Structure formats: C-alpha cells, structure tokens
Structure 1
C-alpha cells in the first residue's frame, strides 16, 4: 500500500518549526511521507545550517523540504511578529495553493493530509478546498490554547474587552491545577508593539474558529504536566514531549548552525555543575541587561554554557565582551547556537536559565533540569507560572525597579535553584512522568497511535 503523503505547515518561527520537524520524523518512522513547508527565508536558513554542520541539505528518510514566500520583502524584520503575521495571513494562502498544484504536477503522490500549526489556520481552508483532510497541531502549552479558546467567556466575565485587552488587573485561574495568570500577561497582548496587538488578537480569534476544520488536534505536552488543561479540553490530545530520536542524530530544522564543541566541553565538567543559559530564537537584550547577566554568571563561580545568538544584543561593546571572555576563559563557554536537547540531557547540567519558551520548557522537564525563569514575551509568562507555581521545579528571576535583572539577583537565584533539594526532586519526578507518558502504553504514546491510525486511513 502506498504511503500517505502528509503536508506539514509550521508558523515561520524557530519555536514552531522544531516541534513540527520532530513530529515529522516520528511520522516518517511510522511509514508516512512528509513534505515540510517552510517560508523561503526559513528554508534557506535550515538548509544553510544543515550544510554548515556537515549534514546533507536534506533531512533524509521520507521528509522533503519545500518553501513558499511569506509576503515580506527580503530585508524586513521577521522577528516583528505583528508584521510577520499580517504578511503571511494575506500572502501565503495563494502560494500554498500553487505549491499543492505543483506537487501533483511533478508526479508526487497526492497530498492526503495537512498537519498544520494552529497559528496557520488559513492553511486549513486551503487544504479543505483541495479535498485534503486536516489535523491541527498546537506547539505550546495546552493551557495556552485553553486561554485562547476561553476568550468568549473571558469577555463575558469582564476580564477582557472585545479587543482582547484587560478590563481588570488581577490574577486568575481557568480551572483547578492550571497555572494562575495575571490579566496583563495574556499571550496575545505580549507578542509585540501594543499598536499591532489587534492583528494578533484577530489571528487568535479567527484560528479558534478555523480549528473546527480539523478532524483531530494534537499538542506537544503530556497529561501529567497539565491534568487541569487536559481535563478542560479533552479534545486536544497531548502527544509530547516530542523529540526526533534518542540519539540526537536527526536534524530538527535549526535556523543557525549548532556548535558541536558544547558537548565535549560539558563532558569535561563535573556532574550537576553547569549553569546552562539560553533565551531561544527571539529574545533581545539591551547592553546593560546583557552585562548584568554576564557578571551575574561570573559571580556564581560556576561553569556556565551560554547561547548568545549573533543578533541577541545589538550595540554591545566589543571591548567589554572581549574582556569578559578573558575573565571567564576556561570556566564559561559562549556559543551562538547548540543542540539544546543534547545539552539538557547531559549529566553535567545543574540548572537552566531560560526564557521559558514551550520547547525549552518541555525539553528541560523531560530531562529533569531545574529552571531559573526569565520570560521574554507571548506565552512564556504562562510557562513560568507552570514552573514556579504549579510544578514548582524552578524559581523566577525578579527585575528591579528599572526592569533590570541585576547581577546580584542572577547569582542569588542560581544558587537558590541549584541548592534546593526539593526543586531537584520534583524536577526528577516530572522527568519520570514525562518518560512514562511517551513510553509504551503511556497517555502520549496512545494518543500518538491514534494520530498515526487516522493519518494512515
């Protein structure tokens, strides 16, 4: 019997490409054929990163890479989420139609299924017009989707207005066991400049409706992590924590080349000694905050591995950085990108200073790593709430009156996280729970089987 051909469409951001690439590898392992559709800009970065790491410019084994334009000019800022969302919702539907037609014309097997990011709800309409069936994929916490799906009730209860903005300043909880969240920290109000907030809110409310076109919704979470949210929305099937393979050999669509020296460096460090610091693909620090963090890491006296993207801190003094490098040489390693899953699985790790993106959160949880939470935007405040208030597997970094997390705060909180036996023990319990869920007979394992059975129909 011919393999079913599945089209996979992520939102064009690293944190959305990675889990869908991990899912794609798993689908291929179960006999499905995948065409993975990135935007042209993201596709070029993925291919360049694969080549730089000595890999083939393909992903091998049943995943084919394809690309379509995102509607922005070549030099426009794609980290401006509002601008990106506005462009792709208007321009990408037509390009996706053309791609589907081209795949058929080229003699590829007819696309039977679309597995699409919920944030790309427009693609569900395109698919249905071609007679292609739809599964929706939610890349963040089930609780985050729950807040979005509950928007009509939040308006009715007077918590937010019909534009998604808070009417009351208070912390609330959707259901028992779910993370408490302040009305100022709802994801759709924290995705960029306030004047573009309506574009994000419109996207969310439109996608909530478009999700009805999907025959199944799956998410990168696991039941033990979010029992409250899973109970509130049993139709969102948790199939996580997703990972491509246990040996970290399969590429997950990184936009930047991974520095492979990290693992050798970690191998030389004592067990449970290293502070790992990474803020994902979007966060930007100003020079003052960068220097406070750097000096705070220095003050801990611990070995640290810090991921600093080339665009992480515009305007940082090169002389200052060179001097810092000199002072921490041998004890601190700074890289521009790494294989994070490999790093988090390493025995040398003591804790993870993180922006709390959901992939980072799931990867940390799956490996039993305690967190120091430092959210940047969107759903990361909600994820911090899970880590600090619900799971209690980490602490939050607290900014001062000027909004700066000082070096003293960095040192103090790292020491508290690393020294807290109860945090470590809870992190271990969640690691074991995550592994049970994805292991044979676990809830994520069974939900994934339902997905594969549906796609194989």
Structure 2
C-alpha cells in the first residue's frame, strides 16, 4: 500500500505554522510525503529557516491577497483576504502538483483553524481532510458549543458576547471560566462570526487532531469522536536540540543560562502575537528589576517598536538578558529556569508542561484564559497574576507572585510529575497509537 501524500496548510501565523511543521516532521519520519504550503509573505520572512529544515518537506507558496505593507496583525483582515483570494488558487495548485507526478498525488489535506474553506476545496477534488487544531482541545470544544451557548442564552448570536456576567462550566468536570473570557470575546464580532461559520466547515474533516493528551484534557476530548489527541508533537517530531521555529532565534541566551545555577532564572515570554500597552510594559520592566533575580525576557522587535521602546528610565535590567526571539523549547528544558511568566498560549503551555516548569499566568485572549484555568485550577502547576483597580498588573504583584511561586514546593513537585505523565503519552503511548491510527486512515 503506497504511503499517503499530505498537503499541510497552516493559517499564516507562527502559532499555527510551528505545530503543523512539527506534525509534518512526525509524518515525514514515518515515511509519508509532505508538501507544506505557506504564504509568499511568510516565505520571504523565513527563507533561511526553510533551508535549514532539510529536504523531507517540500515547501510551496501562494499569495495571501494582501499588499506587502498591509498590517498582518489585523487577523479579521487576513482571514477575509485568504477566504476571498485563495480557494481558486489552492484548487489550481493541487491540480498542478498532481499533474507533475500521477503516482504521488495528494491524498490528504491537513489544515489549521481559520481556513476551513480549504477543506471544501479538497472535498471537491475528492481529497480527504483533517484539521490539526493548534490551540487547546477545550477551545475547540467551546467553538463547537457555540450553537448550544446561543440556545441557552449565554451568548449573543450576533456578537458572541455574554448576555450577562457569569462563570460557566462548558463540560462536566471541565475548568470554570468567566463568560467574558470565552475564546472569541476579546477578538471582536467579525472574528466570532467567522469562527462560528468556520467551525461548521471543519466538520468536512474526519479527524480533529489535537496537540494534547487524554491526561491533560480528558473532558474536552470526550466531547466528540472526531477529537484525536496526538501530542505533544514537539516530543514526537525530533530531539530537543533541533529547532523547528520559522523565526530567527537568539541562541546566545543559552550560553547566558549556562552561567546560572539551577532554578534561578525567571523566563518571560508572551508569544508571537500578544501586544502590551506602554504603561503595562513599563510596570513589567520595573517588576523584573524588583525581583532581585536573573531574568530572561523575550521582547519581540515589533512589540518593542509599538510601545516606543518604552523601557522606563529607572529600569536597570542589570540582572537580566533581553532577546528578540528565543529557542523556547531548549530554554524551558534548561536546569537554570525557575519559572515561566507566560501568556498561556497552547504551544507555550505544552512546552512548559514538557519542561516541568512552574507557570505564572498572564493571558491576553483566545484560549489563553482556559489554559490558565487548567494550569492553576486543574493541574495546579502555576499561579495567576491579579490586576489592580486600574486593570494593571503592578510591579509589586509581579514580584510577590514570583516569590510565592518559587517558594511553593508542591507546585514544583506537581510540575515535574505532570511532565512525566505527559511524556509517557508520546513515544509508545496513546498519542503514538493515535498517530498510527491516523496514518492508516490516510492510507485507505
């Protein structure tokens, strides 16, 4: 039986590209043929990274329909442009690839969220489809539950906003969440309406692959037979020493970490999208100064520029190191790391769990509030940061919570135990069996 040929297509942001790239590396390791589709804009940004990823994955490109100078952090704008311009181009691209080698035609399309229309393109060409969901399974469950939440009067059908302030439990035994923190609530009406429609289209996929394990999110995974946990992908794709990030990483921070004793450094990173207001940025800087501990802080160049290089005059930073982007997976496995101040994006959450690292949670939007609930209330491997009456997380709050976290030996013990349990589910565990199940399905 011939091995399947996968066309893998992520929504064009780093939080989607990286897990789908990890998944592609796993499939390639199993002998499958992989064609990986990125936008022309992203290809220009990551050309060097592609050259270092080896020849197991073939990269192809399509335009995203935006002008070069358009703001690609405007997600509703990107989503609309992709939907309006890409389907016809994708159809032609698949036909072109299949015409080049009739014995190795594309047999399965794997996409991430926000581009469910791609499944329709594949379906019309007789190609199987699957979704690799890049966020937590509970987030997918919440989008799947939108019709029920509307019927029960919990959210408005036009905006997705809660009809009243309350705390709900989406599924039995799942974490409680404030309705204002549902994954779509801070991203606007257009995003909500898109995701409500997109989730319907995702049902063209037979599998909703999740970068998680049955121990991390059992309640969410029980919602639908489509949910198939195959994570953590980062542990299946390759060894810890190999980077699979599309962004250039500053590896000097690893040499810097080597100079510090075990569990002494506070690591701070808020992912590839979160932006911080200037006043809050300054407060964070001063809070890190107050710690009297070494810190490693990731400040993306775009974040730094948009807050007008807003390091306060009284910020010394003498105990810390600031980098533009980091080899996070290696950092979270470094013995010098004591804790992780995180936005709680799912990729960062999985990497922190697999590093056995205690969390200090600072969520911004999307599934990050749900992930914080898992970290603090279910897994009990971290603490949350509380805002003051002005909606700010103060420098004193940062200092106090870091000290509280590092003094909590129970959290440290649970973090290491959760790491052990999670890693057991990869090689030879249930996730590996599920991956084999998926590949066998794709071969049929």
Name the TM tier (shorter chain): over 0.9
Q: In the alignment, which residue of structure 2 is the partner of 1:139?
A: 134
Matches within 5 A, 1:341-352: 341-352=329-340
In structure 1, distance between residues paired with 2:219 and 2:123: 32
Long gaps (5+) in structure 2: none
Q: In the alignment, which residue of structure 2 is the partner of 1:74?
A: 68
Deviation at 1:234, TM superposition (A): 3.8
1:408 aligns with 2:408: no
Contact 1:24 1:34 in 2 (8 A): yes
Deviations 1:266-315 (A, max 9, x none): 11111011100000011112222111111111111111111110011335
Contact 2:18 2:245 in 1 (8 A): yes
Q: In the alignment, which residue of structure 2 is the partner of 1:62?
A: 56
Matches within 5 A, 1:209-288: 209-243=200-234, 244-249=237-242, 251-254=243-246, 256-288=247-279
User: What SS is found at the alignment partner of 1:455?
Assistant: helix
Q: In the alignment, which residue of structure 2 is the partner of 1:355?
A: 343
Matches within 5 A, 1:370-409: 370-409=358-397
Deviation at 1:318, TM superposition (A): 5.1
In structure 2, distance between residues paired with 1:383 and 1:136: 20
The answer to which of 217-226 and 158-167 deviates more is 158-167
In structure 1, distance between residues paired with 2:309 and 2:148: 51
User: What SS is found at the alignment partner of 1:246?
Assistant: coil
Q: In the alignment, which residue of structure 2 is the partner of 1:53?
A: none
Give the alignment partner of residue 306 of structure 1, picking from 284, 290, 297: 297
Q: In the alignment, which residue of structure 2 is the partner of 1:202?
A: 193
CA RMSD, aligned part only? 1.8
Long gaps (5+) in structure 1: 51-55
Q: TM-score scaled by structure 2?
A: 0.95
Q: How many residues align?
A: 440
Q: In the alignment, which residue of structure 2 is the partner of 1:121?
A: 116
Distance change in 2, residues 1:396/1:134 (3 Å) = same
The answer to which of 139-148 and 171-180 deviates more is 171-180
1:46 aligns with 2:41: no
Could you list the structure 1 runs, at least 4 aligned residues long, displaced by more than 4 angstroms after superposition. Answer: 315-323
Give the alignment partner of residue 92 of structure 2, picking from 89, 94, 98: 98
User: What SS is found at the alignment partner of 1:282?
Assistant: coil
Q: In the alignment, which residue of structure 2 is the partner of 1:172?
A: 168
Contact 2:278 2:310 in 1 (8 A): no
Q: In the alignment, which residue of structure 1 is the partner of 2:20?
A: 20
User: What SS is found at the alignment partner of 2:114?
Assistant: helix
Deviations 1:420-455 (A, max 9, x none): 111111111211110111131x22121111112222
Contact 1:286 1:314 in 2 (8 A): no
In structure 1, distance between residues paired with 2:150 and 2:310: 52
Q: TM-score scaled by structure 1?
A: 0.92
